[in-house]
Amino acid sequence: MSLSTIIFILIQKVLVQGLFHENSVHIIERPSFLSEHSLYGYSIAYQGHSLIVSDPIGDGVGKIYLIDIDSPKNSTKVTNVPIEELRRQKLANRRIKHDFWLGASVKANENFFVTCSPRYAELKSIKVKGRRDLATVGLCYLKPSNGTIRRLPVLTASDRLRTETRGAKLMDSFGWTTHITSQNELLVGGPAVSKGRVIKYEKPMSKDDPKLFEKISHSNPVLYNFGYSITSGTFFGKEISYAVSSPFGNLGYGKVYFFNSKLDNIGAINDIAYSSLFGAALCSAMLPTGALVVGAPLYTDSATEYDVGAVYIYMADTGVSSKEMFLKQKIKGKANGGYFGNAILNLGDMDGDSMDEIAIAAPYEDDGRGAIYIYTGKGLLEGRYSQRLHIDGFKYFGFSMTTVQDYNENGCNELAISSPMSDKIALVNSLAFITVKLRAVFPNSQNITLGKYFEFESCFDVTYPEKPKDIEADLIVSIESSYSNVKLRRLGVERSELTYEQSVKSKESSYCQSIGVITSNITEKEYNLVLAYKISAKLKENPLSLTEFDISRVLLSENSELTIENSVWTSVCVSDHCVPNLSLIKSCSISTSYIIGSTNEETLHLTISNAGENAYSACVVVTIPKARTIRYPKGCSLKQYTSKISILCKPEILLETGKQWIIPDITIETNYLTSLDDSLNIMYDLYDNCNDQSGHKSYADSFPLTSDFDGIFIMGKTIPEEFVNLTTNDIQFGKTVEHHYTLYNNGTTNWINVQSEITLENVTFVKYSEAPITINTGSSLIECAMTDTKTNGNNITMLCDIGDLRINEKVVVVVSIEIPPETIGANDENRNITISTSINLLLKGQSKYSSLQTVLRLQRSEVPLWVIVIASLIGLILVCAVGYILYKSGFLRRKNKQNLMALKKSVYRQSMQRSAMRESMRVTATRKSTEDVKFLRTGGCSKSD
């Protein structure tokens, strides 16, 4: 008789408890020569072992300091930004009372650093009023890593006129926000004037003029503070995109706009909470695909709370060429008045899981002391922070942050945090990570005799980072058995729990220890006995708790698997191995001709039968690549297999011979499917033994999917009208007409990446711009340029990407047609000219077609000579009649001239009389005053009286 041992494994992941060594924080104080009433550290950046620190109110214009963090005393020097130039400009005009705020933003990479003065003022001419007046014009300065500092070109005159208000034509306030992209592009925001502006320097090191972000969707216009925060990332695939915020958005509801590299507005996201300052901070991250982290520091969801703050994580659909972002997680702050999300920083991938770590500041938490919350990439998606940083002696801690690229050479970025109200900067060291995964290697468990001693291997695999070179870490591994008749043996010691230490200093890929198992006192009647084991590991010493920082010390990443729980069954089989004979019967509610979007969810029902020996570790793995599982029964769980997520189901008891194992409904979400999906494939993998994957049988279902083609409609409209009368001025100066095609999706399918063929006429009297077609959705405005065209006779066919046409949404395609001046000659008069366009939507082998035409009526009205003569005579008669009537009414005569002269003499005489009377009264009054004085001198009272 033989003993059969079957093992079930439960693996638990580790939760990271921190990333930064707070005990070894390095404090950089404000320079002694700096005023106490400065804003030292308002903005900070890092370049080449130096911190770039701003004081935007220093000397009235602002100062930039370079701090050498390698020197023992952190030597500080003032940069050669032309401060004197700014100071002279301020002193030259006494009307300038405000600070220029040089250093309102500072950004740097390995090639250059840039800083701006958004409140710089100079005199500008106002053509309307013919005078010169002060205007705020932001200036930015760029310093190459090996070069001299210079002023960047300002907004061009033509771009400056692209505004609705006269005053804003003079001002821009560029420089409150800056951002350097991964492609060395520079984006500068000026949110403080009018609606706000953003410009892009494609090659900041050159002298090229910046480009203005101006293409905004008409249905989602910019109203306030455009450019408050800026970032960039691969949000919608591999190409870079830009995100620009407007925290006051639509009357208090914040917005974030997305633009492609051509500066087309390709999308937007809107806040649903009022006055939360949504978009005050933006940060891109890889989680592991492109994601956008948005800060809303004034967010609150309760009448008893205020300014708690929140952070939103948005991601696009994976595997879909969509330009829409979806909310994946919202994290709320911890305290009233904390301003959680006021600043957000990407720390890079510190633990090697291909996901960036994120720092989120709440600078006013704890009565203004401030705090920073550190999130791993996984923790961010789960809404769970790993560490809360706060350094004593700081106020508004976390107001500004920057990464310090691997300063201590352990492969991870350090963190610099400034506190402008405390005039201090904190530099915090980070720790590197290793990934440890436990595993147990058992012998042929079905060939062990009762009471026999056997051994298994307790192992763990280690993945090391490139840095640091030397690793110092000891792991403690614990093995437990919950069954009293089973003992574990190692090095001659027998007990139900064993513990051993293992150093990873040698940096081997795997470490294993042999563990003996004694199954004495187990009777044959206990052949279906369940034996439970648990293997766990941890660091012997937490490096975060050490007083001194050591770069060789490491932490365990969240990808580590530090707990394995095993269950072992004993049984009797005829041969050395139990040989089940499993079969699968499946049923699905999905119809054979399924229309995408017709239902929100469908269900699977599985029945597994066993016609062989007992199955002690049977399991089934269900994989549905293009749909999401939202509910599954007890005994099933989601598992990650390489790049796909599957459902792993195991029976709660052994599957005996002749028995069935029924898996009730597994519910899958089908509204996740789009027009890009042609079929829904479901794969089933059935295993006799889930541990060694023996007895594998595969099944598959494939359901063809049909998109709802009938739900797409096209409505056309010509602007201004279908019939247009061309005047002489129109012919002389030109005219523009438009064809509007409105695409509606009233069906059940979300159409993704819709393509279209738009046909234009190729005739001499029509001209098209470089981008004559605009595609306007509710959140984007994309231009279709004349690059991908085909000309066939009198027709030009353009291939345009419409984008997404989702359920109950519409897209407006505008074709702009220009009639240049003097292109319609005399031979074209007295006849109609028709201009036609058409659109053909390409919808998976089918198409939707619509066309429009504008009829130009070319009729020049000529007035006969006799009509002109008669009209002139009638006009002359009317003028004479009006003159005669005015004459008769006395309007043109002066009958009362003599009366008027007499009246003038009478008025003159009366004036002279009044003047004489006034003089007589003055003389009398003077004489009387003199007499009174005499009386006072002679008849006054004596002192004795």
pLDDT 10s digits, 874-890: 888 888 888 777 777 66
Nearest to 663 by CA among 582, 580, 573: 582
Please list the residues that pair with 187 across neighbouring strands.
179, 200
Q: What pLDDT does residue 49 have?
A: 87
Residues 449-465: what's their mean pLDDT? Answer: 81
Residues 773-780: what's their mean pLDDT? Answer: 82
Lowest mean pLDDT among 161-170, 251-260, 646-655, 684-693: 161-170
Lowest mean pLDDT among 74-83, 265-274, 413-422, 729-738: 74-83
Is omega for the bond preceding 288 within 30 degrees of 0, making it cis?
yes
pLDDT category at 445 given cuts 50, 70, 90 is: low
Given CATH 3.40.50.300, say whether it is the number of domain 709-858: no
Name which residue leads in pLDDT, 169 or 386: 386
Nearest to 841 by CA among 747, 704, 738, 705: 747
Whether 119 and 99 have beta carbons less than 8 Å apart is answered as: yes
Q: What is the pLDDT of residues 544-553, one digit of tens each?
A: 999 999 999 9
pLDDT category at 939 given cuts 50, 70, 90 is: very low
Res. 213: pLDDT tops 50 = yes
Nearest to 555 by CA among 351, 387, 693, 694: 351
Topology given in CATH for the domain delimited by 584-706: Immunoglobulin-like (2.60.40)
Q: What pLDDT does residue 357 have?
A: 96
Q: What pLDDT does residue 10 have?
A: 46
Mean pLDDT of the chain: 83
Q: What pLDDT does residue 781 have?
A: 80
Res. 167: pLDDT tops 70 = no
pLDDT category at 147 given cuts 50, 70, 90 is: confident
Q: What pLDDT does residue 613 have?
A: 85
Name which residue leads in pLDDT, 625 or 210: 210
Say how far apart CA 357 and CA 413 lie, in whole Å.
10
Res. 685: pLDDT tops 50 = yes
Res. 537: pLDDT tops 80 = yes
Separation in Å, CA 853 to CA 49, 712, 737, 738, 850: 65, 22, 10, 10, 11
Q: Dig out the tokens for 104 from the structure.
A: 């309102």
Sign of CA dihedral 665, 668, 671, 677: negative
Res. 911: pLDDT tops 70 = no
Res. 517: pLDDT tops 50 = yes
Lowest mean pLDDT among 126-140, 226-240, 405-419, 672-686: 126-140
Q: What is the pLDDT of residues 847-867, one digit of tens each?
A: 999 999 999 887 655 667 777
Lowest mean pLDDT among 136-150, 161-175, 423-437, 848-862: 161-175
Say how far apart CA 588 and CA 608 lie, in whole Å.
15
Where exactly are the structural domains of the chain?
4-14+434-571, 584-706, 709-858
Ramachandran sector of residue 301 (left: φ over 0; alpha: ψ -120 to 50; beta: rest): alpha
* Angle value at C-alpha 73, between 69 and 76, nearest 5 degrees: 65
Note the pTM of the prediction, 2 decimals.
0.78
Domain boundaries 4-14+434-571, corresponding CATH code: 2.60.40.10
Say how far apart CA 22 and CA 782 lie, in whole Å.
48
pLDDT category at 814 given cuts 50, 70, 90 is: very high
Whether 413 and 348 have beta carbons less than 8 Å apart is answered as: yes
Q: What is the pLDDT of residues 556-609, one digit of tens each?
A: 998 899 998 866 565 556 555 678 899 999 999 988 889 999 999 999 999 999
Give the phi and the psi of residue 900 in degrees, each rounded to 5. Answer: -65, -40
Strands across the sheet with 186-190, in order? 177-180, 186-190, 197-201, 211-212
Q: Examine domains 4-14+434-571 and 584-706 and report if their fold is the same.
A: yes
Q: What pLDDT does residue 321 have?
A: 60
Residues 366-370: what's their mean pLDDT? Answer: 94
Res. 929: pLDDT tops 60 = no
